[in-house]
Amino acid sequence: MSGYLLLEDGTRLDGELCGALDRVTGEVGFNTAMTGYQEILTDPSYAGQLITFTFPHIGNVGANAEDLEALTCHARGLVLRAPITDPANYRAQAHLARWLEQQGLVGIAAIDTRRLTRRLRESGAQTAALGFHPDRSPDIDRLAARTGVVDAGLVRLYAGNSEADQHTLDVRGNAPRPVVVPPCSTRPHVVRALTDVSTPCQ
């Protein structure tokens, strides 16, 4: 299905939708990593963003239950240069397109990501609408109000009201000072790295 990416400055890029069929808004950013797309999409620090992947072969590792930074996606969508690549890796448990559908994540392919990245580097991050529209005349203000990207209060949303999880770790040798890890965009691999060096985390 055809879709669009409409930037707040009026720039419109047309492409082909992938993943969930929906309409979302978010802050458009870009990522140049060649691997780790699942980690990026589930990373809490990307909350509310539409991620533009500059590497063209997204999906070649497929999707699995191990390459996650959280149990759910925190990004709101993804922008790709080419259609999702079929998996060709022994660790693949599912096709990335199916995983995106299960996660309710909207994607768009066939976008000139080089052009988009240059525009973002020149203008800075922009709010954008991503999806489809029956009359092909999307209203970014209406979509922004619908998804609450304006003044969304993402810190409150993703920090939550619960106390930070306390991680009990074995400490070798002299016990170092504990490290407090607040539950605000905390990446699990940070806790794992601290665990590897036997640092108490709270």
What contacts 23, CB < 8 A, 6 or more positions away? 106, 129, 130, 131, 132, 133, 138, 143, 146
Confirm if 131 and 5 have CB atoms less than 8 A apart.
no
Query: Which tokens belong to 31?
Result: 């990522």
Residue in the block written with tokens 């074995």: 170
Third-level CATH fold of 2-158: Glucose Oxidase; domain 1 (3.50.30)
Q: How many Cα atoms within 13 Å fall on the side-chain side of residue 97?
A: 14
In tens, the pLDDT along 76-129 reads 999 999 999 999 999 999 999 999 999 999 999 999 999 999 999 998 888 999
Residue 140 burial by Cβ neighbours in a 10 Å radius (0-12, 13-18, 19+): middle
In tens, the pLDDT along 131-189 reads 876 555 555 555 555 544 444 554 455 544 333 444 444 444 455 566 666 655 566 66
Whole-model pTM: value is 0.76
Residue in the block written with tokens 């052009």: 115
Confirm if 179 and 199 have CB atoms less than 8 A apart.
yes
185, 196, 188: which is closest to 68 by C-alpha? 188
Is the CA virtual torsion 86, 76, 27, 21 positive or negative?
positive
Confirm if 36 and 23 have CB atoms less than 8 A apart.
no
Boundaries of every domain in the chain = 2-158, 160-202
